[in-house]
């Protein structure tokens, strides 16, 4: 059983799972290249322990997932996903080109112990795109057609837990349901953020999603969760400007174009209410094709990364942290010349003895493979779900799991 706030959620340890037919909601939504192929399969790999365990416990497993959204380039079928999963699992994952029609239902009914199926993209079913409360989603055709074929429902899709769609919130109301191992790992790692005993807590927040990050800082401040919030990326520029620092014409133009200047009053309010927000003391800027280090009060050129002194000061704060959360890079890390700030904070976090949580594709890429066998490191699979979780919002899929029938 996992406890999150006032919710109690069953895990694979709490359900009778042997010789059963299990419907497993996974999130295999992956970046897709221009030829329609999977670019990065880390989300698929993440589900391997859950699937393996269910197979080893002699269940037959039917996976259901979305990929992209209708109308988008990455809205593709899941045939290649099944092939990749087969490779990781070293067993045949059969792709079924159907979601809930007679073909899929017949295949599911005839499954034998240990067999694994991946249904086609659940967002081909129009109902899946409508968000609504669990009680409404439990009455959808998706739930009505599929639930009678299964003994249990397992949700392992933490990265989609912020959506209140039928495949995520409809099933727990009508059948015994539990969280899979990915969901369990995410929830127990991320709940360290809200545990007062684990302190001090340092949040390293950067990147480009300024409004989302501002919401996180508002929540962390309101609930007095963070001891220090070290800013980089565009959120650092917002807070520097909110403090009255002139970052120069070029950077102000960037902030204006992105609509970030309108957030200044919210940032000021946070600063005045005692938010433990730190801003860089220096930046790495690009000016007339040259790269320079410049103090925060004398910025000339376009800001591309935090400076050397900031990286040192931030690293020293991280050194004493018991929980460090890193989300969003310190600079424009797609360019190798501007990765130093992000690399420095990551190094400090990994060298410290505390717990480290890394979220968001860009910061994960700064890990550069240093992930094996590190029990103190948690790499979240969540994008939007993680942002919402950190903002203190409830995740509908978790709430629904807590309503599990039986
Ligand atoms: N100073 C800066 N100016 C402009 N862009 C910046 C700056 N610093 C970082 N960025 C950009 O922020 C982007 C990454 O931010 P984002 O918030 O999307 O993080 P992420 O961790 O990848 O999130 P997710 O995985 O959820 O998409 C990168 O493209 C990077 O170039
Ligand atoms: O990548 C994600 O954030 C999840 O898979 C959810 O996808 P969505 O934003 O299309 O609902």
DSSP letter at 165 equals -
Q: How far is the CA of 143 from the centre of ligand 1 (A)?
A: 38
Q: Classify residue 24 by burial, with Cβ atoms within 10 Å: 0-12, 13-18, 19+.
A: buried
Tokens of 228: 């220090």
Structure tokens at 386: 């993680």
ipTM: 0.94
**Two tokens, residue 162:** 């912020």
- In sequence order, what are the residues at sequence separation of 6 or more whose Cβ sits closer than 8 angstroms to the Cβ of residue 6? none
CA of 333 to the centre of ligand 1 (A): 8
Q: Which CATH number fits domain 2-184+394-401: 3.30.70.980, 3.40.50.1260, 3.40.50.1000, 3.40.50.10240?
A: 3.40.50.1260
- Of 91, 76, 87, whose CA–CA distance to 29 is shortest? 76
Q: How far is the CA of 159 from the centre of ligand 2 (A)?
A: 7
Q: Which atom of ligand 2 is nearest to the CA of 159?
A: 4
Compute, in angstroms, the gap from residue 66 CA to the centroid of ligand 2. 8
Q: What is the pLDDT of residue 361?
A: 82
- Cis amide leading into 92 (omega within 30): no
Q: Is the CB of 208 under 6 A from ligand 1?
A: yes
**Residues 238, 264 contacting (CB under 8 angstroms):** yes
Judge if the beta carbon of residue 28 lies within 6 A of ligand 1. Answer: no
- Residue 207: name the closest of 229, 231, 230, 233 by CA: 233
What are the strands, taking DSSP E only, across 183-263? Answer: 201-205, 228-231
Among 341, 362, 381, name the best residue to mutate to test ligand 1's pocket (greatest count of ligand atoms within 8 A of Cβ). Answer: 362
CA distances from 117 to 63, 192, 345 (A): 6, 35, 42
Residue environment code for 250-262, b if the CB has 16+ CB neighbours within 10 A, otherwise e:
ebeeebeebebee
**Nearest-angstrom CA–CA distance, 386 and 375:** 20
Decide whether any atom of ligand 2 lies within 6 Å of the 65 Cβ.
no
Does the C-beta of 332 come closer than 6 Å to ligand 1? yes
Ligand 1, atom nearest to 334 Cα: 31
CA atoms of 161 and 394, how far apart (whole Å): 9
How many whole angstroms separate alpha carbon 385 and alpha carbon 159? 5
In 328-376, the DSSP E strands lie at 355-359
Report the CATH architecture of 195-370.
3-Layer(aba) Sandwich (3.40)
Residue located nearest, by CA, to atom 9 of ligand 2: 384
From 329, 346, 363, 364, the mutation candidate for ligand 1 (largest count of ligand atoms within 8 A of CB) is 329
Contact 308, 301 (CB under 8 A): no
C-alpha to C-alpha distances, 244 to 75, 221, 304, nearest whole angstrom:
44, 21, 20
Report whether 120 belongs to an annotated binding site. Answer: no
Classify 48 as helix, strand or coil.
helix
Confirm or reject: Cβ of 360 under 6 Å from ligand 1: yes
Task: Delimit the CATH 3.40.50.1260 region(s) of the chain.
Answer: 2-184+394-401, 195-370
Phi-psi region at 260: left, alpha or beta (left = phi > 0; alpha = psi -120 to 50): alpha
Alpha-carbon separation of residue 338 from 153, 207, 238, 283, 304 (angstroms): 45, 13, 19, 10, 6
DSSP assignment of 267-309 equals HHHHHHTT--EE--SEEEEEETTEEEEEEGGG--SEEEEE-HH
At residue 369, the pLDDT reads: 74
383 in contact with ligand 1, CB cutoff 6 A: yes
Q: Left if phi > 0, otherwise alpha if psi is -120 to 50, otherwise beta: which for 104?
A: alpha
| Adjacent-strand bridge partners of 302 | 286
Q: How many CB atoms lie within 10 A of CB 385?
A: 25
* Residues 146, 15 contacting (CB under 8 angstroms): no
Closest ligand to Cα 302: 1
Ligand 1 center to 136 CA (angstroms): 37
Ligand found nearest the CA of 69: 2
For residue 147, count CB atoms less than 10 angstroms from its CB and return exposed for 0-12, middle for 13-18, buried for 19 or more.
middle
pLDDT tens, N- to C-terminus, the chain (406 residues)? 998 888 899 999 999 999 999 999 999 999 899 899 999 899 999 999 999 999 999 999 999 999 999 999 999 999 999 999 999 999 999 999 999 999 999 999 999 999 999 999 999 999 999 999 999 999 999 999 999 999 999 999 999 999 999 999 999 999 999 999 999 999 999 988 888 888 999 999 999 999 999 999 999 999 999 999 999 999 999 999 999 999 999 999 999 999 999 999 999 999 999 999 999 999 999 999 999 999 999 999 999 999 999 999 999 999 999 999 999 999 999 999 999 999 999 999 999 989 999 998 889 889 877 777 788 999 999 988 998 988 888 899 999 999 987 7
Instruction: Compute the distance between CA of residue 362 and CA of residue 364 in angstroms, rounded to an integer.
Output: 5
Res 372: pLDDT = 72
Cβ of residue 396 lying under 6 Å from some atom of ligand 2: no
Which of 332, 359, 367, when mutated, tests ligand 1's pocket best, judged by the most ligand atoms within 8 Å of its CB? 332
Query: How far, in Å, from the CA of 186 to the mean position of ligand 2?
Result: 16
The candidate with the shortest Cα–Cα distance to 397, out of 175, 188, 173, 100, is 173
């Amino acid at each position: 059983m996992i406890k999150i706030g006032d919710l109690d959620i069953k895990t694979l340890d709490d359900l009778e799972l042997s010789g059963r037919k299990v419907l497993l909601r996974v999130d295999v939504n992956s970046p897709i290249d221009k030829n329609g192929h999977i670019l990065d399969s880390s989300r698929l790999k993440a589900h391997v322990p859950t699937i393996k365990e269910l197979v080893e416990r002699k269940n037959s497993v039917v996976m259901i997932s979305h990929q992209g959204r209708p109308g988008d380039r990455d809205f593709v079928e899941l045939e290649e996903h099944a092939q990749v999963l087969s490779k990781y699992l070293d067993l045949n994952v059969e792709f079924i080109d159907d979601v809930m029609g007679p073909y899929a239902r017949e295949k599911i009914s005839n499954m034998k112990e240990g067999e694994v199926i991946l249904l086609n993209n659940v967002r081909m079913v129009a109902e899946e795109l409508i968000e609504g409360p669990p009680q409404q989603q439990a009455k959808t055709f998706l739930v009505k057609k599929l639930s009678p074929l299964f003994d249990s429902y397992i949700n392992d899709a933490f990265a989609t837990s912020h959506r209140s769609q039928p495949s995520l919130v409809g099933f727990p109301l009508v059948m015994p349901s539990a969280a899979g191992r990915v969901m369990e790992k995410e929830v127990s790692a991320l709940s360290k953020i809200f545990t007062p005993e684990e302190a001090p807590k340092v949040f390293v927040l950067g990147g480009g999603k300024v409004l989302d990050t501002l919401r996180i800082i508002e929540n962390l401040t309101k609930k007095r969760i963070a001891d220090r919030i070290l800013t980089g990326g565009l959120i650092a520029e917002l807070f520097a400007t909110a403090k009255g620092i002139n970052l120069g014409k070029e950077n102000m133009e960037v902030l204006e174009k992105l609509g970030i200047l309108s957030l200044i009053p919210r940032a000021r309010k946070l600063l005045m209410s005692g938010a433990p927000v730190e801003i860089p003391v220096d930046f790495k800027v690009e000016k007339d094709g040259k790269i320079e280090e410049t103090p925060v009060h004398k910025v000339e050129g376009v800001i591309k990364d935090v400076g050397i002194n900031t990286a040192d000061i931030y690293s020293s704060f991280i050194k004493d942290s018991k929980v460090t959360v890193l989300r969003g890079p310190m600079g424009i890390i797609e360019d190798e010349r501007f990765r130093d700030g992000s690399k420095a904070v990551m190094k400090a976090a990994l060298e410290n003895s505390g717990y480290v949580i890394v979220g968001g594709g860009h910061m994960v890429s700064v890990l550069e493979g240093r992930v094996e066998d590190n029990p103190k490191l948690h790499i979240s699979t969540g994008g939007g779900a993680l942002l919402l979780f950190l903002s203190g919002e409830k995740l509908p899929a978790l709430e629904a799991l807590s309503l599990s029938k039986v």
